[in-house]
Structure 1
Amino acid sequence: MLIDRYGRRIDYLRLSVTDRCDLRCTYCMPKGFNGFEEPEHWLSFDEIERVVAAFARLGVGRVRLTGGEPLLRRDLPVLAARLSRLPGMADLSLSTNATQLGRHAGALKQAGVNRLNISLDSLQSERIATIAGRDVLSDVLAGLAAAQAEGFQPIKLNMVVQPGVNDDEIEAMVRFSMEHRFILRLIETMPIGTTGQQSGFLDLQQVLKSLSRQFDLVPSATELGGGPARYWQSRDGEFTLGAITPISQHFCATCNRVRLSVDGTLYLCLGQNDKLALRPLLRSGASDEELEQAIRDAISLKPERHEFREQPSKVIRFMSATGG
């Protein structure tokens, strides 16, 4: 097992397969940005499989495919099938904006992807266009319908809540999720890159109290995917609400994850700059034992916590470059 110096077991890898995206969400990537990683620096499918296999041998059984927008990576279901068959792989999931999901849902399900997290910040076309750079609401809704038709369960909706932008839509999103049997997760904006630092932050604590009263929700101890969300459920168990609150109530003491970017850089904390480049090892003939030792050494560098409140402008890389 991978245990860091603070006694946390690391069993979750978030794997970015591309830093490209077909949207420009205001909190993630600047409008007009084109400073993407060169394709020759991307890890190949063989390299990705080798790294994930090394993590799996070290006890990391949860992998989430992220981006950018992961469905822009050609033949992603082929990679997913390869990863799902690795010994020790317990859970393979995908984060997506769902604009391409209608075409790929069936292939992803057949490839062994277990669960989906889908970004949806608004149910209003004009607002989606403001947040994401263009109106893709109909594409996202079609992707959600395709995912449900393929039997994906659960499907989580991720709503990044921004004051004065979409915070007045939280109740509508709750009712939409109830109607369609989605899990809704509200997320505080993180100050990552200039885009995240310029986006407004809304403390979700009072929002959660209000929603709990309005919809008669009770805290839930149910574990849903190994991530950082805290959950509440309706008393009949038919609806689940999650919250990811890295600013108002951080979860660093139980952090169990690291992130691998498309160029093979292993980031140890979303809110810090600690990292290790694995691509040079992969392309210089390192043995599996050397690769595993490099991963162990990297985990020993994982910091205790982020400093989003203390140093909100510390992390200058964009979220899309780090990987979900």
Structure 2
Amino acid sequence: MKDSHGRVIDYLRLSLTDRCNFRCVYCMPEDGVCQMDHGEILRIEEIERLVHVAASLGIRSVRLTGGEPLVRKGVVDLVRAITDIPGIENVSMTTNGVLLPQMVDDLKAAGLSRVNISLDTLDAEQFRAITRVGRLEDTLAGIDAALKAGLSPVKVNAVTVRSLNQDFLAFAKLSLDRPLHVRFIEYMPVGNAEGEGGTGWGVVDVIPSEELIERISAEAAAAGLPALVPASRSSKPVGWGPARYFEFPGAAGTVGFISPLSRHFCGECNRLRVTADGKVRPCLFSDDEYDVRAALRAGDDAAARGVLLTALGAKPDEHHDKVGTERNMSQIGG
């Protein structure tokens, strides 16, 4: 399945819910967002049906997102159902990790292959400030549980925000002794970025990846660590996607950099996104949406297929440095 720019599209990101047990500053306003009614959200069986249709078009990888996907009832059964769909080669998830300790074994048994865990600081007080409600120890326990369960790879996603003054070397060092793949993601202007009800994004808070690589390397040298070097092909984690990966020589994991603004990778985009209420988005930064929920509720697979193909044809060549989207990140699914 190719879009109008010749890119192979084989990856579907599915938001299971707009609800979350965190209120991260870059994801939603402090008061949260107006939650969708239960009837607006795709039902579990509708999501499964959608993946059947998508797989028939060439989708091979599915990532479950939110909000926080683990707060969605029936998520384990959904993972099992999607894993069994012909053509689907892997099912992964992005989560804040809080519920992983009690759920990861069931998720692994159901077929979840890998997980990305969102973590933006290793300082407990700052973690509380960023998430507004979370505890650092809960997310760290989620990382431990994912590794213990044998999910591979386990990636740690850190959004980099200049005004937060995060300790990036401390993050990079997580890759030294355990097979963790730390990825630094440039702060993106998604949602009502500035003004009342906004998430506070401003261009001054964006740390270009090249600057961050230099900074981590300098701090590593000052700490007596070897410099980061490009990761070998064998070191790169499965599903490495848009990240550029580096490693400390001899480390168990890697350090990746995702640069949607300073070095965008639109030319390599391979994905479609579906929101929790069944809207297909051709691009994270685009407000264009195509309703697949109506077709699914009508039991019309041909119509659902048509919606996906229409969205495919509407994928832009790139995001053209667009600032702000009508929906916040938690409503889009990342």
Give the TM-score taking structure 1 as reference length: 0.93
Counterpart position of 2:159: 160
Please state whether the residue corresponding to 1:146 is helix, strand or coil: helix
Q: Residues 79 and 110 of structure 2 are in contact (CA less than 8 Å); yes or no, is this contact kept in structure 1?
A: yes
State the match for 2:330 in structure 1. Answer: 320
Residue 267 (structure 1) aligned to one of 276, 281, 290: 281
Deviates most, 198-207 or 95-104: 198-207
- Unaligned runs of at least 5 residues, structure 2: 193-197, 221-225
Q: Map Cα deviations across residues 194-234 of structure 1 (whole Å, 9 max, x no partner).
A: 24553522112121134356442222454631532121133
2:260 aligned residue: 246
Q: Which of 225, 230, 250 is matched with 1:219 structurally?
A: 230
Aligned equivalents of 1:34, 1:26: Cα separation in 2: 12
CA distance in 1, matches of 2:214, 2:291: 42
Query: 2:307 aligns to what?
Result: 294
Residue in structure 2 matched with residue 171 of structure 1 by the alignment: 169
Match of 1:180 in 2: 178
Whether the 8 Å contact between 1:231 and 1:241 is mirrored in structure 2 is yes
Q: Does residue 256 of the first structure (1) align with residue 243 of the second (2)? A: no
SS in 2 for 1:202: coil
Check 1:268–1:279 CA distance in 2 against 1; reply closer, same or farther (3 A cut). same
Measured in 2, the distance between the counterparts of 1:245 and 1:68 equals 22
In the alignment, structure 1 residue 193 sits paired with structure 2 residue 191: yes
Shift, 1:31, TM fit: 0.9
Tell which deviates more after alignment, 149-158 or 203-212: 203-212
Question: Structure 1 CA distance, aligned partners of 2:306 and 2:15?
Answer: 22
Mapping 1:41-56, distance limit 5 Å: 41-56=40-55
Contact 2:62 2:92 in 1 (8 A): yes
Pick closer, same or farther for the CA change 1:237–1:125 going to 2, 3 Å: closer
1:154 positional shift:
1.2
- Matched residue SS, 1:156: strand
Give 1:236's aligned residue: 250
- The answer (yes or no) to whether the contact 1:259–1:267 under 8 Å persists in 2 is yes
Q: Which amino acid aligns with 1:184?
A: V
One-letter amino acid matched to 2:253: F
Aligned partners of 1:124, 1:210: CA distance in 2, in Å? 19
Alignment of 1:1-324 (within 5 A): 2-167=1-166, 169-194=167-192, 195-196=198-199, 198=201, 200-212=205-217, 214=220, 215-220=226-231, 221=233, 222=236, 224-225=238-239, 227-236=241-250, 238-286=252-300, 288-308=301-321, 311-313=322-324, 315-324=325-334
Q: Residue 263 of structure 2: SS of its match in structure 1?
A: coil
The alpha-carbon distance between structure 1 residues 196 and 205, as it changes in their structure 2 partners (threshold 3 A), is farther
CA RMSD between the two structures:
1.7
Q: Deviations over 1:129-174 (max 9, x none)?
A: 110002411111111121122111210000101112143x000111
Query: How far 1:289 moved relative to its partner?
Result: 2.7
- 1:225-249 CA-to-partner distances (Å, cap 9, x unmatched) read 1532121133336331111111110
Does the C-alpha gap of structure 1 residues 72 and 135 become closer, same or farther in structure 2, counting only changes over 3 Å? closer
For 2:163 and 2:103, the matched residues in 1 are separated by 34
> Conserved in 2, the CA contact under 8 Å of 1:27 and 1:196?
yes
Identical residues among aligned pairs (%): 38
- Could you tell me whether the CA contact under 8 Å between 1:12 and 1:226 is conserved in 2? no
The offset of 1:285, in angstroms, is 3.6
Q: Alignment partner of 1:52: what SS?
A: helix
Q: Which amino acid aligns with 2:209?
A: L
> Deviation of residue 45 (structure 1)?
1.1
Range with greater deviation from structure 2 (198-207 or 103-112): 198-207
1:56-89: CA deviation from partner (whole Å, max 9, x where unpaired): 1111110000000000001211110000111011
When normalised by structure 2's length, the TM-score is 0.91
| Consecutive unaligned residues in structure 1, runs of 5 or more | none
| Contact residue 178 and residue 253 of structure 2 kept, 8 A | no
Q: Distance in 2 between matches of 1:256 and 1:212?
A: 31
